[in-house]
Protein backbone atom coordinates (compact mmCIF):
# COMPACT_ATOMS: atom_id res chain seq x y z
CA UNK A 1 0.00 0.00 0.00
CA UNK A 2 1.14 3.55 -0.70
CA UNK A 3 0.83 4.50 2.97
CA UNK A 4 3.40 1.84 3.87
CA UNK A 5 6.04 3.49 1.73
CA UNK A 6 8.53 5.73 3.53
CA UNK A 7 7.75 9.40 2.99
CA UNK A 8 10.87 11.14 1.68
CA UNK A 9 10.99 14.86 1.05
CA UNK A 10 13.34 16.83 -1.17
CA UNK A 11 14.34 20.29 -0.01
CA UNK A 12 12.89 22.44 -2.77
CA UNK A 13 14.43 25.86 -2.24
CA UNK A 14 16.94 25.61 -5.11
CA UNK A 15 18.74 22.95 -7.16
CA UNK A 16 17.89 19.73 -8.99
CA UNK A 17 14.71 18.91 -7.08
CA UNK A 18 12.66 17.16 -9.80
CA UNK A 19 15.41 14.67 -10.61
CA UNK A 20 15.65 13.57 -6.98
CA UNK A 21 11.87 13.32 -6.62
CA UNK A 22 11.69 11.06 -9.70
CA UNK A 23 14.59 8.87 -8.56
CA UNK A 24 13.18 8.48 -5.04
CA UNK A 25 9.75 7.57 -6.35
CA UNK A 26 11.31 4.96 -8.66
CA UNK A 27 13.26 3.65 -5.65
CA UNK A 28 10.04 2.97 -3.75
CA UNK A 29 9.37 6.10 -1.71
CA UNK A 30 6.36 8.36 -1.36
CA UNK A 31 7.77 11.78 -2.21
CA UNK A 32 7.04 15.45 -1.70
CA UNK A 33 8.76 18.79 -2.07
CA UNK A 34 9.71 20.54 1.18
CA UNK A 35 9.60 24.35 1.42
CA UNK A 36 7.82 24.89 4.75
CA UNK A 37 8.30 23.74 8.32
CA UNK A 38 5.00 21.84 8.22
CA UNK A 39 6.21 19.94 5.14
CA UNK A 40 9.51 19.13 6.87
CA UNK A 41 7.65 17.83 9.91
CA UNK A 42 5.60 15.47 7.72
CA UNK A 43 8.47 13.51 6.14
CA UNK A 44 10.37 10.47 7.38
CA UNK A 45 13.60 11.52 5.65
CA UNK A 46 14.96 14.38 3.57
CA UNK A 47 17.15 14.79 0.50
CA UNK A 48 19.16 18.00 0.15
CA UNK A 49 19.89 18.29 -3.57
CA UNK A 50 22.73 19.73 -5.58
CA UNK A 51 22.64 23.41 -6.38
CA UNK A 52 24.49 26.37 -4.89
CA UNK A 53 25.28 25.78 -1.24
CA UNK A 54 25.52 29.43 -0.17
CA UNK A 55 22.17 30.25 -1.82
CA UNK A 56 20.53 27.22 -0.21
CA UNK A 57 22.03 28.17 3.15
CA UNK A 58 20.57 31.68 2.91
CA UNK A 59 17.17 30.39 1.79
CA UNK A 60 17.00 27.95 4.71
CA UNK A 61 17.21 30.98 6.97
CA UNK A 62 14.76 33.07 4.92
CA UNK A 63 12.14 30.29 4.90
CA UNK A 64 12.54 29.63 8.64
CA UNK A 65 13.79 26.10 8.01
CA UNK A 66 17.33 26.30 9.36
CA UNK A 67 16.74 25.59 13.04
CA UNK A 68 13.82 23.15 12.50
CA UNK A 69 16.01 21.16 10.08
CA UNK A 70 18.92 21.16 12.51
CA UNK A 71 16.57 19.93 15.21
CA UNK A 72 15.19 17.09 13.10
CA UNK A 73 18.69 16.00 12.10
CA UNK A 74 19.78 16.07 15.73
CA UNK A 75 16.74 13.92 16.52
CA UNK A 76 17.87 11.23 14.09
CA UNK A 77 15.92 11.99 10.91
CA UNK A 78 17.62 10.27 7.94
CA UNK A 79 19.04 12.69 5.39
CA UNK A 80 20.91 12.43 2.11
CA UNK A 81 22.86 15.30 0.58
CA UNK A 82 24.30 15.33 -2.94
CA UNK A 83 26.93 17.90 -3.98
CA UNK A 84 25.68 21.14 -2.35
CA UNK A 85 23.74 18.95 0.05
CA UNK A 86 26.99 17.33 1.16
CA UNK A 87 28.44 20.78 1.88
CA UNK A 88 25.44 21.81 3.97
CA UNK A 89 25.43 18.56 5.98
CA UNK A 90 29.10 18.93 6.94
CA UNK A 91 30.12 20.47 10.22
CA UNK A 92 33.18 22.20 8.69
CA UNK A 93 33.77 23.66 5.21
CA UNK A 94 36.82 25.06 3.45
CA UNK A 95 36.36 27.92 0.96
CA UNK A 96 32.86 28.68 2.20
CA UNK A 97 31.44 32.15 2.86
CA UNK A 98 31.74 33.52 6.41
CA UNK A 99 27.94 33.84 6.66
CA UNK A 100 27.25 30.33 5.32
CA UNK A 101 25.22 28.09 7.64
CA UNK A 102 26.18 24.47 8.32
CA UNK A 103 23.78 21.77 9.48
CA UNK A 104 26.51 19.86 11.31
CA UNK A 105 25.04 16.41 10.65
CA UNK A 106 28.28 14.72 9.52
CA UNK A 107 31.65 14.96 11.26
CA UNK A 108 33.67 15.89 8.17
CA UNK A 109 35.71 18.68 6.61
CA UNK A 110 34.51 19.42 3.06
CA UNK A 111 36.25 21.52 0.43
CA UNK A 112 33.59 23.50 -1.41
CA UNK A 113 33.77 23.54 -5.25
CA UNK A 114 36.92 21.40 -5.18
CA UNK A 115 36.19 19.84 -8.57
CA UNK A 116 34.89 23.08 -10.07
CA UNK A 117 38.01 25.03 -9.27
CA UNK A 118 40.58 22.31 -9.84
CA UNK A 119 39.42 19.72 -12.36
CA UNK A 120 36.06 21.09 -13.60
CA UNK A 121 33.34 18.55 -14.37
CA UNK A 122 34.58 15.01 -13.93
CA UNK A 123 33.21 11.49 -14.33
CA UNK A 124 34.51 8.26 -12.83
CA UNK A 125 33.45 4.69 -12.06
CA UNK A 126 33.59 4.29 -8.28
CA UNK A 127 33.74 1.27 -6.02
CA UNK A 128 30.94 2.06 -3.56
CA UNK A 129 30.74 0.15 -0.28
CA UNK A 130 27.84 -2.30 -0.29
CA UNK A 131 27.26 -2.18 -4.05
CA UNK A 132 28.30 -5.21 -6.10
CA UNK A 133 29.12 -3.27 -9.27
CA UNK A 134 30.94 0.06 -9.72
CA UNK A 135 28.87 3.22 -9.73
CA UNK A 136 29.27 5.75 -12.53
CA UNK A 137 29.55 9.13 -10.85
CA UNK A 138 29.18 12.60 -12.35
CA UNK A 139 30.80 15.52 -10.52
CA UNK A 140 29.71 19.08 -11.43
CA UNK A 141 31.55 21.85 -9.56
CA UNK A 142 31.50 19.38 -6.72
CA UNK A 143 33.05 19.28 -3.26
CA UNK A 144 35.24 16.54 -1.90
CA UNK A 145 35.90 15.48 1.67
CA UNK A 146 39.28 16.36 3.14
CA UNK A 147 38.87 14.41 6.39
CA UNK A 148 36.27 12.56 8.46
CA UNK A 149 35.72 11.80 12.12
CA UNK A 150 36.05 8.37 13.69
CA UNK A 151 32.31 7.63 13.44
CA UNK A 152 32.05 8.39 9.73
CA UNK A 153 32.11 5.52 7.22
CA UNK A 154 33.85 6.26 3.93
CA UNK A 155 31.76 4.71 1.14
CA UNK A 156 33.68 5.79 -1.97
CA UNK A 157 36.86 7.52 -3.08
CA UNK A 158 38.01 8.66 -6.51
CA UNK A 159 40.23 5.98 -8.12
CA UNK A 160 43.92 6.79 -7.75
CA UNK A 161 44.72 7.02 -11.47
CA UNK A 162 46.60 9.61 -13.56
CA UNK A 163 43.34 10.61 -15.25
CA UNK A 164 41.88 11.68 -11.90
CA UNK A 165 44.56 14.31 -11.40
CA UNK A 166 44.26 16.15 -8.06
CA UNK A 167 41.00 14.33 -7.31
CA UNK A 168 42.77 10.95 -7.03
CA UNK A 169 42.06 9.25 -3.74
CA UNK A 170 39.68 11.96 -2.49
CA UNK A 171 36.65 10.91 -0.42
CA UNK A 172 33.38 11.47 -2.31
CA UNK A 173 30.75 9.46 -0.40
CA UNK A 174 30.24 9.03 3.34
CA UNK A 175 27.72 7.85 5.89
CA UNK A 176 27.32 8.69 9.56
CA UNK A 177 24.47 6.86 11.26
CA UNK A 178 21.30 7.86 9.35
CA UNK A 179 22.97 10.54 7.22
CA UNK A 180 24.35 9.84 3.74
CA UNK A 181 26.27 12.28 1.54
CA UNK A 182 27.84 12.15 -1.92
CA UNK A 183 29.88 14.70 -3.84
CA UNK A 184 28.35 13.46 -7.09
CA UNK A 185 24.88 13.47 -8.68
CA UNK A 186 23.29 9.98 -8.89
CA UNK A 187 19.94 11.53 -9.73
CA UNK A 188 21.10 12.37 -13.27
CA UNK A 189 22.62 9.04 -14.30
CA UNK A 190 19.59 6.73 -14.14
CA UNK A 191 21.34 4.46 -11.62
CA UNK A 192 18.96 4.19 -8.67
CA UNK A 193 21.23 2.35 -6.25
CA UNK A 194 22.17 5.32 -4.07
CA UNK A 195 18.53 6.36 -3.81
CA UNK A 196 17.52 2.78 -3.05
CA UNK A 197 20.14 2.72 -0.31
CA UNK A 198 18.73 5.90 1.19
CA UNK A 199 15.11 4.76 0.95
CA UNK A 200 16.20 1.60 2.77
CA UNK A 201 17.82 3.74 5.49
CA UNK A 202 14.58 5.69 5.90
CA UNK A 203 12.54 2.49 6.08
CA UNK A 204 14.90 1.08 8.72
CA UNK A 205 14.60 4.27 10.78
CA UNK A 206 10.80 4.06 10.64
CA UNK A 207 10.89 0.46 11.84
Among candidate residues 189, 154, 195, the one with its CA nearest the CA of residue 175: 154
Catalytic-residue membership of 20: no
Catalytic residue among 20, 101, 185, 195: 185
Report how far apart the first and last C-alpha atoms of the chain are (Å, whole number): 16
Q: Which of 83, 101, 195, 196 is catalytic?
A: 83
Q: Which of 19, 187, 195, 196 is catalytic?
A: 187
67 is catalytic: no
Q: Is there a catalytic annotation at residue 187? A: yes
| Residue among 196, 169, 173 nearest 183 (CA) | 173
Largest Cα–Cα distance of the chain, in whole Å? 49
Contact between 106 and 150 (Cβ < 8 Å): no
Catalytic residue positions?
83, 185, 187
Amino acid sequence: MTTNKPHVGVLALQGDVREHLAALESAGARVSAVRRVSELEAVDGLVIPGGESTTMSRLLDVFGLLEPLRARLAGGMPAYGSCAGMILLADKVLDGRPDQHQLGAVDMLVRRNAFGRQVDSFEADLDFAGLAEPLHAVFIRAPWVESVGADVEVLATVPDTPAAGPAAGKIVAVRQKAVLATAFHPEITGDLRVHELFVGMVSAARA
